[in-house]
């Protein structure tokens, strides 16, 4: 009997959700949710607030050493500025579905908010929207390079105890038109990888670091050009170049991942690759977008663990 009742309640709940999401306009839904949370907030006592604050994993402060972490952020931003990235300070919020609309993230893994927003969970998605907007307004722009440090919030429960609900990341994105002969892809791939290398070598010795590059298809011409570019680059870290036979749909064409050998494990500290987001936003297959990120929160925690 309880199972039947449970299914009935679930069906009723789904019916209410469908009606709210499909029959209410955006402004009507927003007013409904605002009033719902206003009434709910009025019922919460100070004692209950205190209890919720202490038990909610989203509200706990980071354990990083604050000054050292801010200095790490500044160090990464200065490296980016030296390589002609435009530094951006992003809002803590972004438009609802900024991540899920690209088709890779379930909305339940994002902290949805009111007024048509969500808490920012990946700065590179916002960069895609910013870059697409600038390229749409000014067709004479050939390339845009953006960088930031940002505290991301994600709702899925992490398995690694070093990972938390919110964490600091150094993010970059380079977007623009195809230059032909893989010039955009190789030039900017090396640019991002050199920046990652410089950032990581400030904290770890070269012999403890290595990078893996995964080609998403076996393009011999691109492979040879990339080999030559890597040999001429300033990446002073062991580099492995291979082909990923079952690449999935997130990164396109090529991906890189930097690792640290630490206490018997290989820890992924940063990664990046090409995505087709600006192609979709601008409906132009000639657009290229390279995104990447460095886990500066993880770097800070490993630094503290070593000292």
- The tens digit of pLDDT for each residue in 16-61 reads 777 777 777 878 888 888 898 999 999 999 999 999 999 999 999 9
pLDDT in tens, 69-98: 999 999 999 999 999 999 999 999 999 999
Give how far the C-alpha of residue 132 lies from the chain's centroid of Cα atoms, to the nearest Å: 17
Q: Domain residues of the chain, as ranges?
A: 2-43, 66-306
Q: Are 80 and 172 in contact (CB under 8 A)?
A: yes
Q: Which residue has the higher pLDDT, 26 or 233?
A: 233
Distance CA 168, CA 166 (A): 7
pLDDT band for 156, please (50, 70, 90 cuts).
confident
Q: What is the pLDDT of residue 9?
A: 60
Q: What is the pLDDT of residue 222?
A: 94
Q: Are 131 and 147 in contact (CB under 8 A)?
A: no
CATH number belonging to domain 66-306:
3.30.930.10
- pLDDT of 1 above 50: no
pLDDT band for 2, please (50, 70, 90 cuts).
low
For the chain, the average pLDDT equals: 91
pLDDT in tens, 253-302: 999 999 999 999 999 999 999 999 999 999 999 999 999 999 999 999 99
- pLDDT of 68 above 70: yes
- pLDDT of 162 above 60: yes
Q: What is the pLDDT of residue 256?
A: 96
Burial of 169 (0-12, 13-18, 19+ CB in 10 A): buried
Q: What is the pLDDT of residue 219?
A: 86
- pLDDT of 206 above 50: yes
- pLDDT of 137 above 90: yes
Range in 100-104, 219-223, 281-285 with the lowest mean pLDDT: 100-104
Average pLDDT of the segment spanning 181-207: 97
CA distances 186 to 89, 189, 193, 252, 300, Å, are 28, 5, 10, 14, 30
pTM flag (> 0.85): yes
Q: What is the pLDDT of residue 11?
A: 67
In the chain, % of residues over pLDDT 90: 74
Q: Which residue has the higher pLDDT, 100 or 161?
A: 100
Q: Which residue has the higher pLDDT, 139 or 269?
A: 269
Q: Which residue has the higher pLDDT, 179 or 20?
A: 179
């Amino acid at each position: 009997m309880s199972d039947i009742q449970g299914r009935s309640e679930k069906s009723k709940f789904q019916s209410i959700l469908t009606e709210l999401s499909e029959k209410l306009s955006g402004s009507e839904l927003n007013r409904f949710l605002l009033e719902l949370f206003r009434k709910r907030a009025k019922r919460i006592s100070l004692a209950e607030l205190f209890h919720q604050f202490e038990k909610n994993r989203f509200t706990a402060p980071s354990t990083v050493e604050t000054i050292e972490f801010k200095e790490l952020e500044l160090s990464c931003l200065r490296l980016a500025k030296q390589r002609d990235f435009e530094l951006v300070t992003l809002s803590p919020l972004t438009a609802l579905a900024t991540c899920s609309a690209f088709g890779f993230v379930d909305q339940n893994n994002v902290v949805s908010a009111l007024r048509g927003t969500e808490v920012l969970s990946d700065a590179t998605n916002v960069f895609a929207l910013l870059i697409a907007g600038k390229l749409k307004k000014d067709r004479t722009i050939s390339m845009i390079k953006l960088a930031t440090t940002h505290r991301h919030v994600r709702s899925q429960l992490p398995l690694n105890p070093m990972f938390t609900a919110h964490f600091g990341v150094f993010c970059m994105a380079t977007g623009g038109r195809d230059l032909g002969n893989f010039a955009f892809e190789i030039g900017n791939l090396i640019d991002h990888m050199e920046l990652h290398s410089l950032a990581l070598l400030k904290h770890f010795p070269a012999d403890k670091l290595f990078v893996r590059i995964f080609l998403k298809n076996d393009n011999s011409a691109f492979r040879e050009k990339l080999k030559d570019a890597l040999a001429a680059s300033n990446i002073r870290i062991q580099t492995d170049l291979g082909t990923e036979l079952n690449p999935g749909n997130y990164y396109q064409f090529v991906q890189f991942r930097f690792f640290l050998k630490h206490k018997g494990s290989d820890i992924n500290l940063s990664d990046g690759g090409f995505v087709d987001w600006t192609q979709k936003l601008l409906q132009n297959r000639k657009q290229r977008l390279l995104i990447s990120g460095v886990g500066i929160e993880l770097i800070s925690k490993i630094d503290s663990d070593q000292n």
